[in-house]
Structures are given as C-alpha cells and as structure tokens.
Structure 1
Amino acid sequence: MPDTNWTTRPWHRDWLQARANELFDLFQRNAVNPKGGFYDLDASGRPYGHIRHLHQTSRMVHCFAIAAKLGRPGAETIVDHGMRYLWEGHRDRKSGGYCWSLDDDGFKDDSKQAYGHAFVLLAASDAAMIGHPLAKDMLADVTGVLNIRFWDEHYGAVSEEFARNWAKISDYRGQNSNMHLTEALIAAFEATHDAAYLDKAKRIATLIIRTHAASLDYVVAEHFDEQWKIDKGYKGSDMFRPAGTTPGHWLEWSRLLAQLWVLDGRREAWMIDAAEQLFRSAVNRGWDEAKGGFYYTLDFENQPAITHKIWWPVTEAIGAAAFLNALKPDSFYEHWYRKLWDFSAIHFIDPANGGWFPELGDDLKPFDRFFTGKPDIYHALQASLIPLFPATGSLMRAIS
C-alpha cells in the first residue's frame, strides 16, 4: 500500500469537499418548507410530504451550523429557520419537552422521545457555537428536560419515551437514543465547557460499551429492560428497533469513543481500546465479503439477519476509519477507508439526482423497504467532512 493516506492527498480532499457541497446544494435548495421545518426529499431530490420529525429538523440545524462555520453563504438562514421551528413548533409550551412530529395542523405524534431530545441538544449546542440568538435558551431548556425527565442517575443513562403529559409509555431502554445523546453531550461540552455534559457522556459509554459490549466481545446490544439488562428476544420495528444487533451502531460508537478519549483530560485507555475493538468487530462480522456493504442486522450468533445494505453504516465506518487512522495510524484503517469509499462511490452515491441512495437490495440495486427517497443529510455529510479536519473532537470543534 502507498505510504500516503488518501486524506492527505489534495485531489481526494477536493473530491470530499465536492461531495459535501453537493449535499449542501441539494438540501439547501429543496428541503426548506416555507411553513416551517423541512421537507423530506423524494428519489429525485424533490420535496414531498408534510410531516416534520424532531430528529430531522434538528439534524438540518446541526448540518447547516457546520456549513455556517465553514463559511457557506445561506447556511445561517437555514439554521435560523430550523431553530425557530424547534422553538415555536416542536417545543411543547404547556408540558415541556419537544414533541416527535408535526404537520401543518400541529402535533402529529406528541410523544417525548429521548432520541429526539438528543438531537435537539445537538442542534442547540451547534447553534450556540455560531452565535444563534435562540441557542442559549434552547440549550438550557433541553438540558433541563433531559436532566429532570429522562436522566436516570442510578444507571447513568436516559429512559426512552414518555407521553405528552410525561406518563410512562414503556419499560423499554435503548442504546440508540443513548448513543446519540453521547454525541450531543460531547457537542454541549464543546459549546459550553461545562464538564457535567462530558461526565454524562462517559457514564453512558461506560454502561453501553465498557459494561455490556465488552462482555459480548465488542458487539453492541441494542435493547434492554428498565434495569438495563440485555433483552436478546426483543423484536421492535425493523426500521428503528430491529431485533438482534446493528453493526452500524458499533461503528458510530467507535468514533464517539475516540472523540471522548481525545476530549477527556484523563485519556482513559479503555475508551480508545474499545473504539478500535468495535471497528474491527464491525468490519469482521458485519461486512458482506461476497457483495460488499454492511448487513443491516445480525443475530446474537453474529449471523446476518437483515441483509439489505443501508447507507448510514458505511458513512459511519468512513468517519470512524478516518478518525482512528488520525489517532492511531495503521494501514488497516487506511485499507478500510479506501474500501468503504470505493463501495460508496460505486453503489450509494446518486450521480443523477444528488445525495445517496438509502438502501440497496441483495443485488446491490437501489431498493425501498425501510426508506423512501433521499435520506437526510446528516450521515453522508459527516462522512465527507470528518476526513478533512483534525481528530480533535466534533466537526464544530475541529473547523476553525
């Protein structure tokens, strides 16, 4: 293998920047809903639908805050549009918290989801880093909701879901919401320098990874009961809570643990060790060696369960490979970084309409089972930008 990484080569860096700008162009041009929030995009990149989901609104704020910090014209207008919809639309002024979805007539699903609140914290943190006028109040508001309503101090993680009036919906506990809260807590720490955010992120990581994933030889369990015991028999929806394990989440955790290791002054060895172990576990167990791509889910014998190839695990693997290779240079990570982009460029990136195909069937052709149209900008954008910046924390921290 050549002795220079792709991420140091000017042509590759230009190619990554072009991919990021294509995504920014697509969503800046087509996703803004003049009635508030953002449209979904169909397979051609055109706006459709009228339901706005909390995580999607928040992710648009996150991505265009990154764009604003990069100096992209028009990005701050997108951030402002999203922040106002979070504050004036999704926020429940009566009972507190942020409701899951809205349409033009008001709340569509008024449940309060930890997953959604994690992304509100991410959006508010990023908006604070570019000086948005609503960011300070939103950051304080969502932090209070998370601390009072969701956070379980005994276990060091958040509960999953509540009704609008904060009545308990279920005893289910999920790692996915806690993983994304870890991402948001890191961003909040970077925005405020308040160590309480980082301490919570470390507690979640300790529970999900150091306690549970390590006991499973670095397989991340997804589903738990209210005592945080693994529920191997859980069968939720195939899209959001599929049975078994999801290798893409092992890869997300790989990068997040590496970021925690960088940011935490103690640089605890278990974090970076687990980051490396999770990456290797995912590519060794989750990659389809015959066809390419990551299986969406595995069973607890590490055999493929849902074999369709979804776009976001590959993007998360790209970010993790780049981040780890910067911190712990190794030809193994460089090999996988190139292999992942090779597969994505051939199969996932849509050259005709922009964006990425969200899902491939077993023949590696675009296929609609779980996702329709163009997925949101969040995962693919981070894959395009993380390799361009130092591995010093989140993109918002690294871009300066």
Structure 2
Amino acid sequence: MSAAGTTRTSGQRLPGWLGQPTHRAWLDEHCRDLLAFGQLFPADGGGAAWLDEVGEPDPSHGVQTWITARMAHVYSLGHLLGVPGAGALADEALAGLWDAERGADGDAPLRDRANGGWFSKLDASGTPAEGKACYDHAFVVLASSTATAAGRAGAQELFREALAVYEERFWDEAAGMPVDTWDTSFSSLDDYRGINGAMHSVEASLAASDVLADVLGDDEGSARWRRRALTILAKVAAWSRDNGWRVPEHFDSSWSVQLEYNADKKADPFKPYGATIGHGLEWSRLLLHGDATARAAGEEPPAGLVDAAVALFARAVEDGWDVDGLPGFVYTTDWSGAPVVRDRMHWVPAEATAAAAALVLATGEQPYADQYALWWDHIADVVLDHEDGSWHHQLDERNRPSGTVWPGKADLYHAVGATLVPRLPLAPSQATAVRQGLLRG
C-alpha cells in the first residue's frame, strides 16, 4: 500500500470497526477494566510497584521510574476520561517522582536531590540503582505532561523540572538526537546511543509540546519540543530506509549503526539484538503523529514521513506476523528478516493495532482496518487474560503464557494506549486531545 494520494478526507466515515460506535464502546469498557486491574500498584512511600499475574504488587522488582511514570500517565489519562478514583491513583504514582507539597525541597523517593534527575529504580531494600537513563527521563516528561493536562497537584512543577533535566542532560542539539545513559552524578556519559530512548523521547516531546501550548500558553517552548520530535523522526526514517526499513536499534557516540550489538544477549528486554518488530510498528505510528502535529501547527513536516510510516509498517508485518506457523508477532528478527526471538510480547500487538488505526486515520484505506480487526481478534484469543485480567505480558512461540523476559503484568501503558489511539485524532497527543474533548465516543 502506498500513502500517495490516499489522505483521508476530514469527516469521512472510518472503515471497518474503527467507524463503529459499538467497537469504540468496547474499547472504552476495556480501558476501564485495565485501570481497575492495576489499581493496587501504589508502593509505600510513593511510586508504582511492579504487578504480578493477578495485579498484586511484586516487591522483588523494587520501584522503577519507568513503571512509576507510565502508571502516572495512564491514571492521569483515566482522570481526564472521567474514571472515578483514577486521579488519586495518579497522585500515588506521581509521589514517587515529586513531592507535591514541598516541591523541589521534597524527598520523592525516585528523585535524586543531590545530582538532579531521577534514579532508574529503587531495589527491594530501597537502595537506588546506579546510572541515569534517557528512557526513564522521557517517561517522566510524558507522565508530568499528562498530569499537568489533568490538573494534578504539583504536576506543573514536576513538568518544568523534567523538561529542564532532559534539556540539560539528554538532548544533544548538535546531533539532533538524545544521548542515552549517564552515571548517577551526571559526570560520565556512556558512548552507547539507542533508538528506544529516542523513540520515547519523540512521544514525550510531542506530548510536552501540546501541553506547553494548551495548558501553559508557552508557544515558543511548544515549538522547540515539537521541532525536536520532528528532527528525531526524520533521522530515524532515513536510517530505516537505508536499512531495508528495519529500524537500526543501536549506535555508538557518533551515531554510527552497530548492527551486531548484543548478539550475545538476543532477548534483552530493552536492548535486544537485531530488529525489534514492535519498534517498527511504534515508529510507524509516531511518524504519523509527527506529520499531523506539524500540519496542525501550520508547519510543513519533514518530507516523506507518511511514506516512511507505510514502509515501516509493511516491513514489520511481513517480517513479524504469523511467520512460524501460529498467529502472533515474533519479538525480534535478524537483519534479513529471519526470526531470532520467537516469543510474543504483549506490547507488540498493542502497537500493531495502534499503528493500523493510525494508518486508517491517515489514509482511510480498508486493508489497514482489516489488519486492525485481525489483530484485536488475536489479542482477544490468546493475549487477554480472561481469568485474572489485563494482558499476558509474554507468550512463548506456541502462544502459551511465559515469563522469561517479562514476568507478571508490570504496567498498563501499552494496553491502555491501544484502547485510546483508535478513538483519538493523530494530533494533538493523547492527554491534550482528551482534555479538548476530541475523544470519539
């Protein structure tokens, strides 16, 4: 399928399930079920615990910044959606990142008052882990922007601090990309550069841009964060095009591709070897959000973002879906497209449905609507846990629940996102769109 000449006309009915109010009602109900499943996440002292298979906190994983920020984000969205109790739960997560009463003088457990920024995690004994990561800080920007849109106490202060830390420590203006990992004191920068932190930086930057304009009236800041997101998107589109539309995941400090990185740790949860199918799908969707965001601001987006989204989606589906005899997306492939890790991670079909929905919104083409329905059927068949709730976070290659990479049901971020993307426009981003009443009911 080609994007050329297929842009959907505003007001045109969406094809397939995306045009059906009954399906949108199902997505709304499922979103609320997910938020109900996760409601036991609050950790003592603030932040979010890792959840087990039945939604109980698993203290062995400690309290992690990315989980905490994701739960702050989804429950702030829940508050914007009018889900009773969601705002108070968002505040429980935010308390791990920021002291709403004392602000910068407070002692939020995940915040490093001595050096700035946020620890990646506290272990089960409450000891901070070493190092500071772009991935975690991008999620703090996202969570604080969503909480600001939701009007949560202390959220604006947290948002401003998160933006300042990210700008100072993680954004490399010369490269037009974020750096990845510092030591705890921000005195030594690792040579590794990664696409995962960059990907979530795009999401966070688009969300921040919208909230800066819509809530804080800062059009200059909004344009700056929007420009960063578009710069990253253009670079990733070019790197992917030059690599057969398989997204290069790992780079050195000069942003030279390192295709064999982690060849000895193929199933790493954050830096796996090879092409990550879910990232191809997620980048496809983000490219469409970026294109739409630029146009909504009256700007010309970087050339070719929609065509790149189409190509990334097609490659990920060809390489990853139903390639080994049973329905499902494999986790990773090598650079020829052959499966490497055949297990299925829940976030991949979540991103597949979201990307297909975004392509329907962008193009109006029926085949994307057909794939969207196919993958929701797959999710309902084997990924949803109809007994204990939420989604199985990992299945083996035979579609049986597994926990070798992702034990338990850590958080709700991808699953909740999959219920919202099909009901929202491509721009603005989720929290701002819900706040502005743009959710299709």
Alignment partner for residue 94 of structure 2, among 83, 89, 95?
Answer: 83
Q: Is the aligned partner of 1:339 residue 2:374? A: yes
State the partner residue of 1:288.
322
CA offsets per residue over residues 287-316 of structure 1, 9 Å max, x none?
A: 124311111001111110001111101100
State the partner residue of 1:196.
224
Moved more, 7-16 or 216-225: 7-16
State the partner residue of 1:66.
77
Q: Is the aligned partner of 1:259 residue 2:279? A: no
State the partner residue of 2:304.
270
State the partner residue of 1:111.
131
What amino acid sits opposite 1:13 in the alignment? R
Quote how far apart the aligned CAs of 1:156 are. Answer: 0.7
In 1, Cα distance between equivalents of 2:208 and 2:151: 14
What amino acid sits opposite 1:156 in the alignment? G
CA contact 1:155–1:207 (8 Å) conserved in 2:
no
CA contact 2:15–2:366 (8 Å) conserved in 1:
no
1:101-180, aligned counterparts within 5 Å? 101-103=121-123, 105-168=125-188, 170-180=190-200
What amino acid sits opposite 1:80 in the alignment? D
Percent of paired sites with the same residue: 34
State the partner residue of 2:118.
98
TM-score (structure 2 length as normaliser) = 0.87
Q: Is the aligned partner of 1:249 residue 2:249? A: no
CA offsets per residue over residues 8-44 of structure 1, 9 Å max, x none?
A: 223222221221111010112x212243212222112
Aligned residues: 396
Moved more, 144-153 or 365-374: 144-153
In 2, Cα distance between equivalents of 1:129 and 1:146: 19
Which secondary structure state, in structure 2, belongs to the residue aligned with residue 323 of structure 1? helix
Task: Give unmatched runs, 5+ long, in structure 1.
Answer: none
CA offsets per residue over residues 96-147 of structure 1, 9 Å max, x none?
A: 1111001465443131100000000001111111222322222221222112
Which secondary structure state, in structure 2, belongs to the residue aligned with residue 305 of structure 1? strand
Which secondary structure state, in structure 2, belongs to the residue aligned with residue 85 of structure 1? coil
Post-superposition, which runs of at least 4 consecutive aligned residues in structure 1 deviate over 6 A? none
* Two-structure CA RMSD over aligned residues (Å): 1.6
In 1, Cα distance between equivalents of 2:277 and 2:198: 16
State the partner residue of 2:268.
238
Alignment partner for residue 42 of structure 1, among 21, 44, 52?
Answer: 52
CA contact 1:391–1:398 (8 Å) conserved in 2:
no
CA contact 1:112–1:161 (8 Å) conserved in 2:
yes
Closer, same or farther in 2 for the Cα pair 1:89/1:138, shift >3 Å?
Answer: same
Quote how far apart the aligned CAs of 1:269 are. Answer: 4.1
State the partner residue of 2:345.
310
State the partner residue of 2:101.
none
CA contact 2:59–2:124 (8 Å) conserved in 1:
no
CA contact 1:99–1:107 (8 Å) conserved in 2:
no
1:223-234, aligned counterparts within 5 Å? 223-234=250-261
Closer, same or farther in 2 for the Cα pair 1:107/1:203, shift >3 Å?
Answer: farther
What amino acid sits opposite 1:221 in the alignment? P
What amino acid sits opposite 1:249 in the alignment? H
CA contact 2:233–2:290 (8 Å) conserved in 1:
no
In 2, Cα distance between equivalents of 1:395 and 1:147: 22
CA offsets per residue over residues 340-382 of structure 1, 9 Å max, x none?
A: 1011000100000100001111211111210111131000111
CA contact 2:49–2:64 (8 Å) conserved in 1:
no
State the partner residue of 2:8.
none
Which secondary structure state, in structure 2, belongs to the residue aligned with residue 41 of structure 1? coil
In 2, Cα distance between equivalents of 1:240 and 1:151: 20
CA contact 2:51–2:409 (8 Å) conserved in 1:
yes
CA offsets per residue over residues 231-276 of structure 1, 9 Å max, x none?
A: 0111056221111110100111111111111110314441111111
In 2, Cα distance between equivalents of 1:111 and 1:149: 13
CA contact 1:65–1:127 (8 Å) conserved in 2:
yes
